[in-house]
Amino acid sequence: MADKISTKSDPIYALARRAAVAACNKKATDVKILKLQELSSVADYFVICSGDVDIHVKAIVDEIKRELKHEIKPWHIEGYQHLHWVLLDYVDFVVHVFHKETRDYYNIERLWADAPTEIVEAAE
């Protein structure tokens, strides 16, 4: 399902969406928000996107952190030193920024195939 996720003014969704739009602003590709609230206690939302090369992944991650820094800071960051899969854990939502090949290999969207999914476009 690739529609807007029904949120009813959910502040966590609003932050996840801002992260997704920030990724789009740095030309991330295949940007998606997965709503996990009814499926798992891992997080309410996953934001998933891809970058082309290491420096692109870094630019996307840095832009997301910059965009959200006044409202929320990541509880944990994993993978920033290698830049193939960077995970920004904001507790209630998690951002995954992948190299395209790494994303294809792990295919985490398949693991959460039942989750309502929203595709985020750059012009939104």
Angle between helices 11-25 and 54-68 (to 10 degrees): 140
Query: Please, which residues have CB within 8 angstroms of residue 27's CB and are 6 or more apart in sequence?
Result: 56, 122
The domain ranges of the chain are 11-120
Specify the pTM.
Answer: 0.90
HSE value, Cβ hemisphere, 13 Å, CA-based, for 93:
24
Extended beta strands in the chain, E state: 29-35, 45-51, 76-78, 85-89, 93-99, 117-120
| pLDDT, tens only, 56-88 | 999 999 999 999 999 999 999 999 999 999 999
- Report residue 1's pLDDT band, with 50, 70 and 90 as the boundaries: very low
| Residue corresponding to tokens 């798992």 | 40
Domain 11-120, CATH among 3.30.460.10, 3.20.20.140, 2.60.40.10, 3.40.50.1100 = 3.30.460.10
